[in-house]
Chain A
């Protein structure tokens, strides 16, 4: 991984010219697909068990909100094409402390992503366990310690898997684009075959109607299920993480973001509808680790081949998705330390491997601890609670981070109307703010309310996330205050940064010359009209 070099020494450091812009439309799409395409392999069983017959509606509710999140990120990432994603947008719109909270929340989710996706990757791997152990299943490798039902073999596999991910990322061994492309294509082809064969050969619409009418969850179960469904969509923002490396970001990012939103929504909806019209939701019990393989096994004729093939593909792409969690958490924490939100210790690059090895080890280590904690949590007899615990933990960070990003969208639309937005979220109301013509995003408001709804649902229904999530953020704020105090920097004040010069430099490096001209013209017009020398963003020097 090439670390971003956004810096706190304005203006040279902010734009980060060391990252080469060589990511194309397909590179950008595949980056996102590597993070998000595997989500349905993880999410299907957990969510169907939680939302029962209304699982497709739970996916739809989360999918609509996340489509709005995707559009919001498309606007911000094409306007501010720098590494850092949500943390950077929040820092720019709301200042240092909010940027820290957004960044910490998103890093938490990336670490849970590493844990959950590694555990599920081995869930798919364990589909083959009876073939290796002469008929013994993973449940046969469980030991009971009081109320804890420890799936010790699965724990050992997951720990080894996370250690391998840490090692790969410390050494700087990347998943190559071509490999990523091949796996992504295989996944799409395999998913399409299962969807088509399932719908044609075995899907029963009357079973869907029956499930809708007679197998409804309670309101709190549905709230829990739909907030869990966030798992199927988290990672859409990965495209903004590579915005700094994307060629012509203004053109490419909106297209790839929208493409990713549609493709993820398609497969999430198709699989959930297929599942409800194919098996009873409770059949997923015991198959939380390999739900798509269960679906494939139920398809006549092709099932005998499709199920093991699906398990093999699932194991591989879910493990790649876990790897994207390692990349994203280290990339994000690196960016945060460059902006003095985290100690510079995190941004130290290994001399030997030229990777941010400390960030990789720390957050990989956090993922390791989370995994062990999840496996040692008491659960139902004969069943490991690991996936349930990790899924419960997942949504707090994403909803908190996205909420701050939506608020930043409003603030940046009001206070920074000068930066060209090659893509704007649709549906806007024109208004005047401090003498400037600005556009209020109506869909942004709906997205904000949707994410807020999910955050409230998480706090109400997720028994682990509502404790560990806020504690994580508080710990990050404490670390931030100690670090700022030690450095003699203001603790709760945003540090001065020359955003104007930074924006010009970024647009120049991205070869977005038209946007650069528009930006300069808008600033000159503003200055001629108001006489103000600077734009009114947090941290802008007066």
Chain B
């Protein structure tokens, strides 16, 4: 379950980055900049949500 969140947001980052690049290439600078900004935020989010080996069990909470 943990890995799904990180994976989904990582996919979101990649797709947004591609969309942002497409916008920039088609001359939509504002739209491109906004979407690339969101892609960077999504990449940071995916990095934080990505499970690492040293984490404890998912049961806590």
Residues of A within 8 A of B (CB): 22-28, 30-31, 56, 177, 180-182, 184-185, 188-189, 192, 195-196, 199-200, 203, 205-206, 208-209, 212, 247, 255, 258-259, 262-263, 265-266, 269-270, 273, 277
Task: Contact check, A262 vs B12: say whether CB atoms are below 8 A apart.
Answer: no
Task: Contact check, A26 vs B58: say whether CB atoms are below 8 A apart.
Answer: yes
Contacts of B4 in A (CB 8 A): 185, 189
- 6 intermolecular pairs with C-beta atoms under 8 Å apart: A27-B60, A199-B16, A203-B31, A209-B31, A255-B48, A263-B48
Task: Contact check, B48 vs A206: say whether CB atoms are below 8 A apart.
Answer: no
Task: Contact check, A247 vs B60: say whether CB atoms are below 8 A apart.
Answer: yes
CB within 8 A of A24: which of B31, B32, B60?
Answer: B60
Find residues 20-61 in chain B having any chain A CB closer than 8 Å to their own CB: 23, 28, 30-32, 34-35, 37-38, 41-42, 44-45, 48-49, 55-61
CA distance A502 to B9 in the complex (A): 41
Chain B, interface size category, equals 20 to 34
Task: Contact check, A196 vs B2: say whether CB atoms are below 8 A apart.
Answer: no
Residues of B within 8 A of A (CB): 1-2, 4-5, 8-9, 11-12, 15-16, 19, 23, 28, 30-32, 34-35, 37-38, 41-42, 44-45, 48-49, 55-61
| A-B interface pairs (CB < 8 A), number | 108
* Extra A-B contacts (11), CB below 8 Å, given A196-B16, A269-B41: A23-B60, A24-B55, A177-B59, A181-B1, A185-B5, A189-B5, A200-B19, A203-B31, A205-B28, A208-B30, A262-B44
A182-B1, A188-B5, A200-B19 are contacts. A27–B31 as well, Cβ < 8 Å? no
In this complex, what residue of B is CB-closest to A258? B48
Task: Contact check, B16 vs A25: say whether CB atoms are below 8 A apart.
Answer: no
Task: Contact check, B15 vs A205: say whether CB atoms are below 8 A apart.
Answer: no
Task: Contact check, B1 vs A263: say whether CB atoms are below 8 A apart.
Answer: no
Task: Contact check, A273 vs B34: say whether CB atoms are below 8 A apart.
Answer: yes
Contacts of A185 in B (CB 8 A): 1, 4-5
In this complex, what residue of B is CB-closest to A204? B31
Contacts of B34 in A (CB 8 A): 56, 205, 208, 273
